[in-house]
Structure formats: structure tokens, C-alpha cells
Amino acid sequence: MQEQLLTWYAASGRSLPWRATRDPYAILVSEVMAQQTQVDRVVPRWQRWLERWPTVGSLAAAGPADVIAEWQGLGYNRRALNLHRAAQHVAAHGWPHDLTELPGVGRYTADAVACFALGADVLPVDVNVRRIQERTGAAFTSAAAQALMDLGATVCLARIPRCEICPLAAACPSRGRRYEPLRKQSAFEGSFRQRRSRALRAVLAGEDPQDEEAVAALTRDGLVHVSGDSISLPA
């Protein structure tokens, strides 16, 4: 199955800019940005980010306020602060042997950076990779990591897989199956996440957010600083 998958990937794999580098910092940025964000939205933001902060040292030296401002539009702003803190850790101490020591870096992200940047023989398992493993029952190596991610994102979809064009369909025991819809994330419109986002945008614009609950949540996450009646981004 892996051989068939790699043949398909050579002809049909997505062209993503971070696949042209082995820089662990650039790949870490791509992985953090792609968490809960569509890849087509990530590409231009990743390119802009690296133009502004091309090295881990340049990001580490940036102010958190600038990092938060640059992140706007990607959502889940704590990711920006964690990425900034991770860069500061690396700039001060180097890349740790266990990448999960970095702020905001879990098992999947650590394995992705290790595989794609550091040449480690480890298969990063995200939801797409796990889905294909479970449906096919096949074992794949780290050489198939990017191919698995592309197959899961474009062909072996969560609810209605496109078995008619899948390179693995002939030997797949799950061919033709349909799946119950996954539990969707709650709607952004009208949610507390939206209120937090509005409050943060107001602070960025130098305005009073006038949403004490949202400001309190942003403060707990370190995204804003409150001093008396003044609300600002962290220094």
C-alpha cells in the first residue's frame, strides 16, 4: 500500500512552500499555523511571517504585542504566544531533544518537526493519518507521512471518502463505507470565542473593548495586560 500511495503522491501531492525547506523553525511555524486553520489560508500568512521573522532568533527578539498583531486572522491567539515562547526557548537553549518541552508543542507537532526537518524516522500521526491507518489496517513508515496527510485531506475524507479515486481502494477493507458526521465545533458566530476576538481587535485598535468577561479571559491567557483602567497588549 505504501508503494501505491507514494506513486500517487508523486503525481498528485499538494505543493506547499514549507515542503521545500528542512528548517525546523519554518516547519514549526507551519505546523502551529495549520492547527485548526485551513491550509490555503496558512500559505500566505506563513510566507509573510517568515519575511518578517526569518529565523528563530528574530522571532525570539520580537515583542509579544507585534507577534499577536501579526497573528490576527488565524484564530486561537494563544498559539501565537506559545510560538513566541518556543522561539525564545530555542534561542536561549537550542532545540531540545524532546520537542514537547517547547511551549504549545504536543506529540504530533513534535513528531512532524522531527520527521520533516530533522530527518527522524518517526511517523507524525494527525487525524488524517490516523483515519487512513484505521480504515486500511496498513502499516506506513515516515517516508509516507506527507502522502498520508494529502490523501486524508483530499481523498480519504472523514465522512464520505472518495474511494473511486483513491490509490489504495483496491486493497482497502473499508472501501465504499460511509461514516457518521463528526461532531462539529460550535459555531463561531455569537460564541464567546467571537467576543474574545472582538475584544482583542479593539485593544489592537486602541479602543476600549467594553466586554469585561472577554478581557478577563484574554488577561488569563496573557494576551492583554490590564493596569487600572488601561488595557494593552503585553509588553
Active-site positions read 31
233: its cell numbers: 497588549
Q: Taking a C-beta distance cutoff of 8 angstroms, is the pair 168, 162 a contact?
A: no
Please tell me the distance from the alpha carbon of residue 181 to that of residue 179, in angstroms, as a whole number. 6
Please tell me the distance from the alpha carbon of residue 113 to that of residue 29, in angstroms, as a whole number. 10
Instruction: Spell out the SS3 assignment of 105-164.
Output: CCHHHHHHHHHHCCCCCCCCCCHHHHHHHHHHCCCCCHHHHHHHHHHHHHCCCCCCCCHH
DSSP 232: E
Q: How does 41-80 read in b/e, with b if 16+ C-beta sit within 10 Å?
A: ebbebbeebbeebeebeebbebebbebbebbeebbebebb
12: its cell numbers: 498528485
Helix%, strand%, coil% for the chain, nearest 5: 55, 5, 40
Please tell me the distance from the alpha carbon of residue 1 to that of residue 159, in angstroms, as a whole number. 22
